[in-house]
């Protein structure tokens, strides 16, 4: 269901509540350079959009968008600009990007899929556990459904049918954000993300990991740098995000932090523990441009 169709229920108020889908898609296609795009402080307008030309000893030369005026300002007077689309934002993750977040094109296509919230559902299945289906009719505690893949019609108990989330929630990064939070929706979301090799998924305060049993390029230096200093919701789900948040809380609150890694045998506990240690070791010796971080890791021994 597209955003425009979804907004139709708001009537005339829709245009005052959310920008049209066409405008949003156009914004997604605009070129964007995350390294140079910025805002610069201005006495009259407060802030102006600009492009960074060069940096030198605490000074930054920028070109104001619109007027093409060049200015030399203090580094503190320049703020980074958010990208107009997800794909541009994901460039900092390098080759790991496709394993962390679905492409913007796929997300937009999901918005345009037809969807009937009253009939779309999951139905229990002995072999597959749950199957996507459409409700045909309800009668006295019984529900007749048509399975999407096979077109087979089944009559099942009402308790064996679960509501389905709209397509915009497909492969959602935080399952706590789902409209319908049920077992079928959770399992399908994990399955679809796993099929795209997106092995990390948030569920409220937790980060669920499904062992891929293969090497994925999501632990290199560029990926470590991309997660540095970011809040949890500012980056895709990852064990590095969990690690960085624990590290930042330790620096801010001056208190010990814990990362609990649990799961069945073979789930990937040891590997993820190693990734936590890798992250701490890398940021403690890497230094980088992040401010207010010590040159050495301030923490006690990390052990599984």
Gap between the Cα atoms of 170 and 168, Å rounded = 6
Mind listing the pLDDT tens digit for each residue in 73-95? Answer: 999 999 988 766 566 678 888 89
Do you know the residue count of the chain?
304
pLDDT value of residue 112: 75
The verdict on whether residue 86 carries a ligand-binding annotation is no
Domains and CATH numbers, the chain: 37-82 (2.30.30.360), 111-197 (2.30.30.360)
CA distance 277 to 265: 20
Judge whether 270 is annotated as a binding position: yes
Residue 267 labeled ligand binder = yes
- Is 266 annotated among the ligand-binding residues? yes
Tell me if residue 103 falls in helix, strand or coil: coil
Structure confidence at residue 290 (pLDDT):
46
286 is in an annotated binding site: no
Query: Does residue 142 have a known ligand-binding role?
Result: no
SS3 108: helix
* Dist. CA 282–CA 284, nearest whole Å: 6
Strand, coil or helix: 283:
helix
Name the pTM for this structure. 0.69
Rounded to whole angstroms, the Cα distance separating 17 from 10 reads 9
> Mean pLDDT across the stretch 164-185?
92
pLDDT digits (tens, 9 = 90+) for 14-23: 888 887 777 7
Give the Cβ contact number of residue 47 at 10 Å: 14
119 is in an annotated binding site: no
């Amino acid at each position: 269901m597209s955003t425009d169709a979804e907004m139709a229920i708001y009537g005339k108020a829709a245009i005052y509540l959310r920008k049209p889908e066409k405008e949003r898609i156009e914004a997604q296609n605009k070129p964007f350079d995350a390294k140079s795009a910025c805002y610069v402080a201005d006495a009259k307008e407060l802030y102006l959009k600009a492009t960074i030309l060069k940096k030198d000893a605490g000074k930054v030369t920028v070109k104001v968008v619109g007027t093409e005026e060049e200015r030399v300002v203090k580094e503190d007077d320049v703020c980074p600009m958010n990208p107009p689309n997800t794909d541009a934002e994901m460039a900092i993750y390098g080759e790991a990007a496709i394993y962390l977040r679905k492409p913007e094109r796929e997300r937009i296509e999901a918005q345009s899929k037809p969807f009937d919230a009253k009939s779309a559902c999951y139905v229990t299945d002995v072999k597959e556990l749950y199957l996507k289906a459409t409700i045909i009719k309800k009668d006295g505690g019984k529900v007749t459904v048509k399975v999407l893949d096979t077109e087979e019609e089944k009559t099942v108990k009402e308790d064996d049918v679960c509501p389905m989330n709209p397509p915009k929630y497909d492969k959602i990064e935080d399952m706590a954000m789902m409209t319908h939070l049920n077992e079928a929706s959770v399992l399908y979301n994990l399955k679809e993300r796993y099929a795209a090799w997106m092995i990390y998924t948030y569920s409220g305060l937790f980060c669920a990991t499904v062992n891929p049993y293969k090497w994925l390029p999501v632990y290199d230096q560029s990926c470590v740098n991309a997660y540095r200093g970011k809040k949890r919701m500012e980056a895709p789900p990852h064990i590095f995000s969990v690690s960085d948040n624990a590290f930042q809380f330790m620096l801010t609150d001056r208190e010990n932090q814990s990362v609990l890694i649990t799961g069945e045998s073979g789930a990937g506990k040891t590997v993820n523990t190693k990734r936590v240690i890798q992250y701490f070791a890398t940021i403690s010796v890497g230094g980088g441009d992040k401010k207010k971080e010590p040159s050495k890791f301030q923490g006690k021994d990390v052990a599984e």
